[in-house]
């Protein structure tokens, strides 16, 4: 048991650093969030633990993970994109679906990091009035939803997306046995070719990667595939009676019932049939997109040229 757990026991009180927010969701499950950016998930068994994604790499997520658990840690990327693999450099070993092995090991375009830091500046500019309005009128924001300034000493102009070489490759149906907890690998391509979810069937939990989201679901990327996305979400919807909670990697609604997955699967079918309401928008890179809007989520699709990482 790490120092934080020893101090707090079974408390759901968060563990906070200058950049990360840790929240205990239930026994053996912790959200390690970079609020407003990305959520990673630490899932603990009796013998080992999985860190599902390593975030942006803005700060050392390994130090935080090792405060939560003393068990042997297996790092798993939900897919190769920089906001889920940026912290890989803090670890000696990590696993990814085999279709992401080459992708995660390639250098990213140098402008990618600069474009994301520009988004971070826009996010912080929007955050101030949003928080003020919440404090005055709504009172909905909680600690794990509090967006913060970049860590002291971090230079946004020097931010780099560093390629990393996986030490283990995963396939559909692989089972990660943590001791008293098993995580099944579900290959769910669509957002990217290598996207996976992790299913903890015994405890009724789905870790959705970027296949399931509560804000815009990104299907506008150069290597996104709308039809594969629809098939992946339909598959997860068919399994939805086997899980009760879905843990999400982006935005401030990060813990949803399985009904969301059924709604998303139906939404993709509506989109493919040409019946969705679509409006103009921009993605986090300020690139024009079309947005198919539904009640509890939306889907970004290309407005012209797809967004490139």
pLDDT tens string 77-124: 999 999 999 999 999 999 999 999 999 999 988 899 999 999 999 999
Percent of the chain with pLDDT over 70: 95
Q: What number of CA atoms fall less than 13 Å from residue 286's CA on the CB side?
A: 11
Model confidence at 10: pLDDT above 50: no
Which residues lie below 8 Å from residue 130, measured CB to CB, with a gap of 6+?
none
Please tell me the predicted confidence (pLDDT) of residue 209.
98
Q: 161 versus 234: which is more confidently predicted?
A: 234
pLDDT of residue 109: 86
pLDDT at 309: 76
Average pLDDT over residues 248-268: 97
Q: What is the third-level CATH fold of 3-108+158-277?
A: Metallo-beta-lactamase; Chain A (3.60.15)
pLDDT, position 14: 56
- Round the average pLDDT of the chain to a whole number and report it: 94
Tokens standing for 69? 């658990």
> What tens digit of pLDDT does each residue of 190-231 get?
999 999 999 999 999 999 999 999 999 999 999 999 999 999
In angstroms, the CA 8 to CA 4 distance is 6
**Cα distance between residue 205 and residue 195, in whole Å:** 17
Average pLDDT of span 264-290: 97
User: What's the pLDDT band for 304 if we cut at 50, 70, 90?
Assistant: confident
Assign 21 a pLDDT band (cuts: 50, 70, 90).
Answer: very high
pLDDT at 9 over 50: no
Predicted confidence (pLDDT) at residue 2 exceeds the cutoff of 70: no
Does pLDDT of 130 surpass 60?
yes
Q: What pLDDT score does 5 carry?
A: 40
**Residue range 122-140: mean pLDDT, rounded:** 97
Res 237 pLDDT > 60: yes
């Amino acid at each position: 048991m790490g120092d934080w757990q020893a101090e707090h026991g079974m408390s759901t009180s968060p563990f906070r650093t200058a950049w990360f927010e840790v929240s205990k969701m239930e026994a053996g499950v912790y959200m390690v969030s970079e609020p407003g950016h990305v959520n990673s998930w630490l899932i603990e068994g009796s013998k080992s633990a999985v860190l599902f994604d390593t975030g942006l790499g803005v700060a050392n997520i390994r130090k935080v993970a090792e405060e939560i658990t003393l068990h042997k840690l297996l790092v798993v990327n939900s897919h190769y994109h920089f906001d889920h693999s940026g912290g890989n450099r803090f670890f000696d070993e990590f696993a990814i679906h085999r279709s992401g092995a080459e992708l995660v090991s390639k250098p990213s375009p140098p402008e990618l990091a600069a474009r994301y830091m520009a988004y971070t500046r826009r996010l912080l500019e929007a955050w101030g009035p949003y928080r003020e309005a919440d404090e005055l009128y709504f009172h909905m924001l909680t600690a794990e939803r509090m967006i913060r300034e970049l860590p002291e000493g971090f230079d946004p102009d020097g931010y780099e997306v560093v390629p990393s070489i996986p030490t283990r490759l995963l396939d559909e149906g692989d089972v990660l046995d943590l001791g008293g907890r098993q995580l099944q690998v579900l290959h769910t391509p669509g957002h990217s070719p290598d996207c996976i979810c992790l299913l903890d069937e015994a405890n009724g939990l789905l870790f959705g990667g970027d296949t399931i989201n509560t804000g815009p679901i990104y299907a506008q990327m150069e290597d996104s595939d709308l039809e594969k996305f629809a098939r992946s979400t339909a598959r997860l919807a068919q399994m939805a009676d086997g899980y009760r909670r879905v843990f999400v990697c982006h935005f401030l609604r990060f813990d949803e019932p399985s009904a969301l997955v059924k709604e998303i699967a139906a939404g993709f079918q509506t989109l493919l049939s040409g019946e969705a309401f679509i409006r103009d928008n921009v993605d986090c890179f300020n690139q024009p997109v079309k947005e198919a809007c539904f009640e509890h989520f939306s889907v970004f699709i290309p407005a012209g040229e797809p967004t490139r990482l």
